[in-house]
């Protein structure tokens, strides 16, 4: 089964990524809840990279690689964004304050961090690597 794809930085490719992750994980017998949570987490990270890091510039690309080793699903997402978007500096927002002031947005990575077992962002120059890990039992 194919475990890597390259997509251009267009929102239209979010469905391609969701379908790719879903098809890859289909053989692992996950519950619908666990499958949908993983797809949601991957979708959120990819959307952030497409929109915030690459400004939906279709001449830019994201490379995604999926693997499962010892019951741990790993997705690695790489890009070469030159923007100032730095997910490695992410700090979890005060959700109560978001609710109090009615702020929309800005909580996607909080959701990702709660769904996945481990989230890593590394930025070296303009090369960004995100790794998401989830135990699938």
CB atoms within 10 A of CB 72: 14
Question: Which of 92, 136, 88, 97 lies closest to 114 in space, CA to CA?
Answer: 92
The pLDDT, as a whole number, for residue 126 is: 73
Instruction: State phi, psi for 104 to the nearest 5 degrees.
Output: -105, 140
As a whole number of angstroms, the distance between CA 38 and CA 81 comes to 24
Q: Which domains does the chain have, with CATH numbers?
A: 4-135 (3.30.565.10)
Per-residue pLDDT of the chain (137 residues; tens, 9 = 90+): 579 999 999 999 999 999 999 999 999 999 999 999 999 999 999 999 999 889 999 999 999 999 999 999 999 999 998 765 555 555 665 656 655 566 565 557 888 999 999 999 888 777 889 999 999 97
The pLDDT, as a whole number, for residue 12 is: 97
What pTM value is reported for the model? 0.84
Instruction: State phi, psi for 81 to the nearest 5 degrees.
Output: -60, 140
**The two three-digit tokens of residue 66, written as one number:** 């999926």
């Amino acid at each position: 089964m194919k475990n890597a794809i390259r997509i251009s930085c267009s929102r239209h490719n979010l469905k391609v990524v969701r379908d790719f992750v879903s098809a890859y994980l289909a053989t692992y017998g996950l519950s619908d809840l666990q499958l949908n949570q993983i797809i949601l987490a991957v979708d959120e990270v990819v959307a952030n990279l497409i929109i915030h890091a690459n400004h939906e510039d279709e001449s830019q690309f994201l490379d995604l690689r999926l693997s499962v080793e010892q019951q741990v699903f790993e997705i690695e997402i790489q890009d070469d964004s030159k923007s100032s978007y730095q997910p490695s500096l992410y700090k979890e927002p005060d959700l109560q304050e978001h609710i109090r002031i009615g702020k929309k947005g800005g909580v996607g990575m909080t959701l990702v961090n709660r769904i996945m077992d481990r989230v890593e962002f590394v930025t070296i120059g303009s090369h960004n690597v995100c790794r998401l890990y989830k135990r699938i039992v």
